[in-house]
């Protein structure tokens, strides 16, 4: 296939928004020095809709056409210490997965740390933040064929410190893909609501990705959602089926979440938790409920249940692990049997209910090195993302031979 040629088609605001602070309006009219590199801003109608999944999937799908792809998460709320710097975890994920040749701090120019919002409301200026954002983008897009920009939540997130997703997309002169969870009425309503915020900033929504749809409903939803979006003047770019593995946390994530200590199974922290079971029953009743991928939560002194789980594990049932709660441990001889078997065991001072509640409400992320999840995401986009209209809207030439998946 002949290498595609690009026509820069940045989304220029047709009318400037009403500023929050009139004296700062000129800051919001700035833009990066780089206006040539094609770019796309990934936003969503709500938290955990699938922005990072979309960034990973698009990055993989576009590489045959854009060998050098940049990435930036302009405003990050979940960060970690990486190379001595506070870096958004999604920037670390992309950097580690694809080997992005960009200074890591440029991929995460603004991190929302403790007191960040209070300081801004109290009068800390916006000018420095905008300069960091624009400079970070120019570095992230330097000598790149394409740049992916990941937003934070819905279109209005960040408004409290004058950098909503919509405004950031405007500053970076980028069009937007909007990710929405599966559904018809609520989903389209939320698309319309988010569109109004982007419209206010003069930012164009390129199209919509509907994520986490039950496989049996994909064709039906595609038909009706496409029609509903057409009424809004928007295109449906993809309908992605729900993939249970993407919502399954690892044992490591759970251990960190509950501030636990690993007692056994040092090489099992990548175990995936598919089911959670609280040991609040007799060991006889428990046996029929344990299955592959089960994480058992039980007070540490319930030795009968610990022994029952150990027997199931030794019989070949691949438990994800066991959490011993209330800062209690079984008898030393039983604990030794657990450790000798390799059954992953975590100790925590939290009670069983609190552990279960934390797990039920946790945000499950794709972590660097989680090759199974990353491969699943890549396959999802290879099968379900319609690349042809996406490239067309971006102004890419020489792709006419690509078939549309849903013609």
pLDDT tens readout for residues 186-201: 999 999 999 999 999 9
2: helix, coil or strand?
Answer: coil
Say how far apart CA 164 and CA 41 lie, in whole Å.
13
Run of H or E residues at 321: strand 321-325
Closest residue by Cα to residue 325 from 361, 369, 277, 363: 277
CATH code given to domain 22-246+366-394: 3.40.50.300
Say which range, 8-12, 116-120, 202-206, has the weakest mean pLDDT. Answer: 8-12
Q: What is the pLDDT of residue 374?
A: 96
d(CA 28, CA 406) in angstroms, rounded, equals 40
Buried b (16+ CB within 10 A) or exposed e, 40-76: bbbbbbeebbbbbbbbbbbbbbbeebbeebbbbbbbb
DSSP annotation string for 44-92: ESSTTSSHHHHHHHHHHHHTTT-SSEEEE-SEESSEEEETTEEEEHHHH
β-strand pairing of 85-88 with 79-82: antiparallel
Interval 249-271: pLDDT, tens: 999 999 999 999 999 998 999 99
Calpha distance 15→212 (Å, rounded): 35
Task: Tell me the torsion sign for CA atoms 273, 276, 278, 284.
Answer: negative
The rounded distance, in Å, linking the Cα atoms of 205 and 276 is 39
What is the model's pLDDT at position 15?
A: 41
pLDDT digits (tens, 9 = 90+) for 365-384: 998 999 999 999 999 999 99
Question: Could you give the percent of the chain with pLDDT greater than 70?
Answer: 89
CATH 3.40.50.300 residue window(s) in the chain? 22-246+366-394
For residue 403, pLDDT beyond 90: no
Beta bridge partners of 177: 42, 207
Mean pLDDT of all residues in the chain?
A: 88
Q: Which residues contact 150 (CB under 8 A, 6 or more apart)?
A: 41, 42, 51, 52, 55, 71, 72, 73, 90
pLDDT tens digits along 19-54: 444 445 555 567 788 888 999 999 999 988 999 999
At 76 the pLDDT is: 87
Mean of pLDDT values over 337-348? 96
Q: How confident is the model at residue 399 (pLDDT cuts 50, 70, 90)?
A: low
Cβ neighbours of 6 (radius 10 Å): 18
Q: Is the pLDDT of residue 407 over 60?
A: no
Q: What is the pTM of this model?
A: 0.85
Least confident range from 95-99, 109-113, 395-399: namely 395-399
- Which carries the bigger pLDDT value, residue 287 or residue 58? 58
Cα–Cα distance for residue pair 7/283, rounded to 1 Å: 66
Q: What is the 3-state secondary structure (H, E, C) of 244-292?
A: HHHHCCEHHHHHHHCCCEEEECCCCCCCECCEEEECCCCHHHHHCCCCC
* CATH 3.40.1390.20 location in the chain: 249-361
Q: Choose among 204, 213, 211, 203: nearest CA to 234.
A: 204
Residue 401 pLDDT > 70: no
Q: How many CA atoms lie within 13 A of 264 on its CB side?
A: 20
Main-chain dihedrals φ then ψ at residue 234, nearest 5 degrees? -120, 155
Q: Provide the CATH number for the domain formed by 249-361 in this structure.
A: 3.40.1390.20
Q: What are phi and psi of 8, to 5 degrees?
A: -65, 125
Give residue-wise pLDDT tens across range 123-136.
666 888 889 999 99
Nearest to 267 by CA among 341, 344, 319: 344
Q: At what angle do helices 332-341 and 303-314 cross, to 10 degrees?
A: 20
Cβ contacts of residue 13 below 8 Å, gap of 6+?
Answer: 170, 201, 202, 203
How far, in Å, are 297, 332, 338 from residue 328 at the CA level? 12, 12, 15
Both tokens assigned to 16: 């400037």
């Amino acid at each position: 296939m002949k290498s595609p040629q690009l026509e820069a088609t940045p989304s220029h605001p047709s009318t400037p928004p009403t500023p929050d602070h009139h004296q700062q309006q000129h800051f919001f009219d700035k833009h990066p020095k780089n206006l040539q590199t094609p770019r796309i801003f990934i936003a969503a109608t709500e938290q955990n809709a699938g922005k990072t999944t979309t960034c990973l999937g698009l990055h993989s799908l576009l590489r045959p056409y854009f060998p050098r792809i940049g990435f930036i998460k302009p405003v990050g709320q979940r960060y970690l210490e990486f190379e001595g710097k506070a870096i958004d975890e999604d920037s670390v994920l992309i950097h580690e997965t694809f080997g992005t040749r960009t200074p890591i701090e440029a991929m995460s120019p603004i991190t929302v740390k403790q007191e960040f919002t209070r300081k801004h409301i109290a009068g800390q200026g916006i000018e420095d933040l905008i300069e960091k954002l624009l400079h970070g983008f120019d570095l992230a897009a330097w000598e790149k064929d394409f740049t992916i920009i990941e937003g934070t939540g819905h279109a209005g997130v960040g408004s409290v410190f004058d950098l909503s997703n919509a405004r950031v997309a405007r500053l970076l002169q980028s069009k937007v893909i909007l990710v929405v969870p599966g559904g018809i009425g609520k989903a389209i309503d939320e698309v319309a609501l988010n569109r109004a915020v982007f419209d206010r900033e003069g930012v164009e929504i390129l199209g919509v990705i509907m994520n986490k749809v039950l496989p049996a409903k994909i064709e039906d939803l595609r038909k009706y959602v496409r029609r509903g979006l057409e009424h809004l003047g928007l295109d449906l770019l993809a309908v992605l089926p729900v993939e249970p593995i993407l919502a399954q946390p690892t044992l490591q994530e759970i251990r960190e979440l509950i501030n636990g200590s690993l007692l056994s199974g040092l090489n099992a922290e990548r175990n995936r938790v598919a089911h959670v079971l609280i040991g609040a029953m007799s060991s006889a009743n428990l046996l029929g409920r344990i299955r592959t991928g089960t994480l058992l939560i039980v007070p540490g002194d319930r030795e009968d249940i610990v022994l029952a789980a150990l027997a199931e594990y030794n019989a070949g049932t691949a438990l994800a692990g066991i959490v011993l709660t209330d800062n209690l441990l079984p008898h030393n001889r039983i604990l030794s049997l657990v450790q000798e078997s390799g059954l992953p065991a975590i100790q925590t001072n939290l009670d069983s209910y609190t552990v279960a509640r934390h797990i039920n409400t946790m945000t499950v992320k794709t972590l660097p090195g989680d090759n199974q999840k990353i491969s699943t995401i890549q396959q999802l986009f290879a099968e379900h993302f319609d690349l042809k209209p996406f490239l067309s809207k971006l102004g890419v030439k020489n792709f006419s031979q690509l078939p549309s998946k849903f013609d």
